[in-house]
């Protein structure tokens, strides 16, 4: 289906429906841009008055056009759009670009009209960009289509750019020359009734003309499909995204730790990360990174060499490289000897290589050529500060000359000079990126390295564990029958154990004799926890007592708990107490699940216990997880050092913790109505290094759960078969 975009992006003929002779109207501007950019096919203006528009014969209707038409660019009033689509269908037109606004962005009536518009597009087997968009561009010499109404004509380049905002897209087209960037293709998706970001990236997957993909998005319509497509396509070419709308709306309503630390933007961030998409947080950074990918190959490693004519900037550049976790290249002795043969004795041939302030253009050329040849070097930063009458533009040209002879390694220029230099660059055919500051270049290298690591990253597998799914179904059905969305602590731990997640040895006691019997069989010390159908936060009422060392102490603590609950009027909801083995360990982690309304279940892992919401050392991924996702989650938190076994502690069983995350992922995939789940703490045992679930909280979405488990009749019976 996506190949149908050829009719939109590679048309041989275009009808402009709503073409106009009236200056500064969209219908007039579209006609002008198509002609000014020298579109290679036929242009058919359509206007009810007919006549001549921009020197071309205008037709009073689409049906009157004599030849075949691939693409209709529609700029008529919103109330005429549906009729125009019918005319296009009658004419056999398969590609539509609807510039016209006045659809779902205007409210309920507009949304209905857009629904009808999409129904026609689907029925007629068309593809449609828009409505409410800026248009489409293809700069390929065989096509040369500027089908949008931005002021400036597009610059030729290797970028495929999708913008959800028309005005923003137009603004960017206007400044491409200044940015020293060019587009291969541009799609303004507007209301994305049909064609959206996913359609575009799938279309560009095998387009040789598009070497990198840029996205400006305010929303991701189908996160699961986006993940599937982007994670495949980003292995072939870089995808950079500026995702707007970063507020954590909805997180404040969550009651679990996982829920309150989550939020819409964390979900988007996790999705982009798992899809191999490089996320930028500003337009400036988006285009800086695009400039790097437009002019640099993917490096073979992360070893950086720095060439400079000044010591200070070389040291700052070194700091920036190291802060990104990249390596300063170990220059070979042969390279050092060669550098010494032409550089003055005051120069430093260690990395960073300081040619000193008197370095002429020839030294820049020779040094760069020598360093590029070094097998220990993957990327090179060339720093220039103006000294001794050397002209910045001359140095840049000399460096680019060497770069042209050695395209195999990324080279980035850092020219700390006047802004006029960067203006002058926009008139040159540059083959490498230039920045004002070393930090920008280091950021560029980091993005190249990020792409390299993603392309080398293994695919990852989603294992399927042998679990007791029926047991979990019954536990949740019992909860639903009692009208509870929140499972008790006991039920939550039972669910975790049914899915093979290591929990403390435990048992439920409902009276003093049972309490003592359990304590004696598990072995002291033990932990006593209340489990209640009405109180979920146990610590608020003193419902957790740890390190109980004897039968006598256990009896005393149990009686004390009953007294506290009675005093607060909470005794009635008490289900009993859980007696658990006391696991010794000072390292407390947290793992859990929170549901984002759009992105679905999100997995969390990080530092737990009382620190979870203070330190916020946690990471998120969208479920389902692959084994590679789970491993990355564990390694990406600062607390990973604690798990490795800092200060003589026993290293944690990383594979077992990874398996815990994967089993949780399977649990939420099997029971999609789980809304929130917390294991806090997941205690790392001092004795074995295992991650042991000491506590669990699970909450479900009741109506969804009832429907999924077939108990939505409202009769309250778990074994219901009333069929309502």
Looking at residue 154, the DSSP 8-state letter turns out to be: P
Q: With 0-12 CB in 10 A as exposed, 13-18 as middle and 19+ as buried, what is 504?
A: buried
pLDDT tops 70 at residue 64: yes
> 145-154, 166-175, 298-307, 691-700 — which is least confidently predicted?
166-175
pLDDT band (50, 70, 90) for residue 597: confident
Pick the closest to residue 655 from 463, 453, 459 (CA basis): 463
Find residue 97's DSSP bridge partners: 73, 129
Q: What is the pLDDT of residue 539?
A: 64
Same domain, 611 and 575: no
pLDDT band (50, 70, 90) for residue 249: very low
Q: What is the pLDDT of residue 329?
A: 98
pLDDT band (50, 70, 90) for residue 568: confident
The residue-averaged pLDDT of 568-584 equals 88
pLDDT band (50, 70, 90) for residue 263: low
For residue range 484-538, list pLDDT tens digits in order: 999 988 899 999 999 999 998 889 999 999 999 999 999 999 999 998 877 655 6
Same domain, 351 and 449: yes
Structure tokens at 445: 């290298």
pLDDT tops 50 at residue 337: yes
Q: If you average pLDDT over every residue of the chain, what do you get?
A: 92
Report whether 223 contacts 271 (CB < 8 A).
yes
Q: Is residue 231 part of a domain?
A: no
Structure tokens at 446: 């980091």
pLDDT tops 50 at residue 723: no
The residue-averaged pLDDT of 51-75 equals 97
Q: Is residue 650 part of a domain?
A: yes
Where is the domain boundary, 421, 456, 491? 456
**Residues 6 or more apart from 66 whose CB is under 8 A from it?**
none
Same domain, 572 and 612: no
The residue-averaged pLDDT of 543-560 equals 94
- The CATH number that applies at residue 146 is 3.40.50.720
Where is the domain boundary, 551, 581, 611? 581
Structure tokens at 136: 């489409």
Q: Is residue 315 part of a domain?
A: yes
Same domain, 323 and 432: yes
- The CATH number that applies at residue 695 is 3.30.470.20
Q: Is residue 462 part of a domain?
A: no
Structural domain harbouring 512:
469-581
**What does the alpha-carbon distance between residue 216 and residue 514 come to, in Å, rounded to a whole number?**
62
Q: Is residue 262 part of a domain?
A: no
Q: Pick the residue with more confidence: 680 or 229?
A: 229
> 272-276, 327-331, 503-507, 536-540 — which is least confidently predicted?
536-540
**What does the alpha-carbon distance between residue 162 and residue 215 come to, in Å, rounded to a whole number?**
5
For residue range 154-193, list pLDDT tens digits in order: 999 999 999 988 888 888 988 888 888 999 999 999 999 9
Same domain, 87 and 199: yes
Q: What is the pLDDT of residue 250?
A: 41
- The CATH number that applies at residue 488 is 3.30.1490.20
The residue-averaged pLDDT of 66-73 equals 97
Q: What is the pLDDT of residue 721?
A: 39
Same domain, 59 and 128: yes
Distance of CA 694 to the CA centre of its chain: 32
State how far the alpha carbon of 622 is from the alpha carbons of 74, 274, 443, 599, 662, in Å: 39, 8, 26, 7, 12
The residue-averaged pLDDT of 343-348 equals 97
> 369-378, 613-622, 649-658 — which is least confidently predicted?
613-622
Structure tokens at 636: 């990406």
Main-chain phi, psi angles of 534, to 5 degrees? -120, -15
Q: What is the pLDDT of residue 2?
A: 42
- Please tell me the total count of domains within the chain: 4
């Amino acid at each position: 289906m996506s190949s149908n975009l050829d009719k939109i992006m590679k048309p041989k003929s275009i009808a402009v429906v709503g073409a106009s002779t009236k200056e500064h109207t969209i219908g007039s501007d579209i006609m002008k841009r198509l002609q000014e950019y020298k579109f290679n096919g036929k242009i058919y203006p359509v206007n009810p008055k007919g006549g001549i528009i921009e020197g071309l014969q205008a037709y009073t209707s689409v049906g009157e056009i004599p030849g075949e038409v691939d693409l209709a660019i529609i700029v008529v009033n919103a109330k005429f759009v549906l009729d125009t689509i019918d005319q296009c269908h009658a004419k056999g037109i398969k590609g539509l670009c609807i510039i016209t606004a006045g659809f779902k962005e205007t409210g309920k009536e507009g949304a209905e009209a857009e629904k009808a518009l999409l129904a026609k597009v689907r029925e007629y087997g068309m593809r449609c960009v828009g409505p409410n968009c800026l248009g489409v561009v293809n700069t390929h010499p065989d096509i040369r289509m500027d089908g949008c109404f931005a002021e400036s004509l597009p610059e030729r380049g290797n970028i495929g750019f999708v913008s959800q905002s028309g005005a923003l897209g137009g603004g960017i087209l206007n400044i491409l020359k200044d940015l020293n960037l060019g587009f291969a293709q541009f799609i303004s998706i507007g209301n994305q009734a049909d064609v959206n970001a996913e359609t575009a990236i799938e279309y560009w997957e095998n387009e040789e003309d598009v070497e990198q993909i840029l996205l400006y998005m305010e929303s991701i319509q189908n996160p699961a499909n986006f993940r599937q497509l982007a994670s495949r396509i980003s292995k072939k070419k870089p995808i950079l995204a500026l995702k707007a709308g970063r507020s954590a709306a909805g997180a404040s309503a969550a009651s679990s730790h996982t829920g309150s630390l989550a939020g819409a933007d964390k979900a988007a961030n996790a999705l982009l990360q798992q899809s191999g998409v490089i996320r930028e947080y500003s337009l400036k950074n988006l285009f800086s990174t695009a400039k790097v990918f437009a002019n640099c190959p993917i490096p073979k490693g992360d070893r950086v060499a720095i060439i400079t004519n000044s010591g200070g900037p070389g040291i700052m550049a070194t700091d920036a490289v190291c802060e990104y976790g990249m390596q300063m290249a170990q220059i070979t002795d042969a390279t050092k000897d060669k550098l010494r043969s032409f550089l003055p004795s005051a120069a430093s041939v260690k990395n960073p290589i300081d040619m000193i302030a008197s370095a002429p253009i020839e030294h820049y050329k020779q040094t760069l050529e020598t360093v590029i040849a070094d097998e220990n070097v993957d990327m090179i930063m060339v720093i220039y500060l103006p000294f001794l009458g050397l002209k910045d533009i001359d140095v840049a040209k000399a460096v680019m000359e060497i770069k042209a002879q050695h395209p195999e390694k990324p080279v980035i220029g850092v020219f700390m000079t006047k802004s006029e230099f960067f203006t002058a660059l926009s008139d040159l055919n540059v083959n490498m990126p230039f920045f004002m500051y070393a930090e920008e270049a280091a950021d560029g290298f980091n993005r190249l390295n990020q792409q390299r690591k993603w392309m080398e990253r293994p695919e990852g597998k989603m294992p399927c564990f042998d679990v007791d799914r029926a047991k979990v179904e019954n536990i949740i059905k019992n909860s639903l029958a009692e009208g509870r969305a929140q499972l008790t602590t006991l039920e939550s731990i039972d669910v975790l154990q049914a899915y093979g997640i290591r929990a403390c040895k435990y048992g439920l006691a409902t009276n003093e004799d049972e309490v003592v019997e359990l304590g004696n069989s598990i072995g002291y010390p033990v932990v006593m926890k209340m489990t209640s159908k009405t109180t979920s936060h146990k610590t608020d009422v003193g419902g957790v007592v740890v390190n109980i060392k004897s039968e006598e102490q256990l009896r005393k603590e149990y009686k004390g708990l009953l007294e506290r609950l009675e005093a607060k009027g909470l005794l009635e909801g008490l289900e009993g107490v859980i007696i658990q083995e006391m696991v010794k360990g000072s390292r407390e982690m947290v793992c859990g699940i929170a549901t984002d309304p759009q992105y679905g279940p999100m997995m969390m892992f990080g530092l737990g216990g009382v620190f979870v919401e203070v330190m916020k050392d946690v990471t998120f991924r969208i479920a389902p997880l692959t084994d590679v996702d789970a491993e990355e989650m564990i390694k990406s938190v600062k607390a990973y050092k604690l798990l490795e076994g800092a200060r003589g502690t026993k290293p944690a069983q990383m594979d077992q913790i990874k398996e815990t995350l994967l089993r949780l992922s399977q649990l939420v995939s099997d029971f999609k109505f789980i809304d929130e789940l917390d294991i806090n703490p997941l205690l790392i045992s001092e004795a074995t290094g295992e991650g042991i679930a000491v506590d669990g909280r699970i909450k479900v979405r009741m109506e969804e759960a009832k429907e999924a488990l077939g108990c939505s009749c409202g009769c309250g019976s778990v074994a219901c078969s009333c069929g309502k």
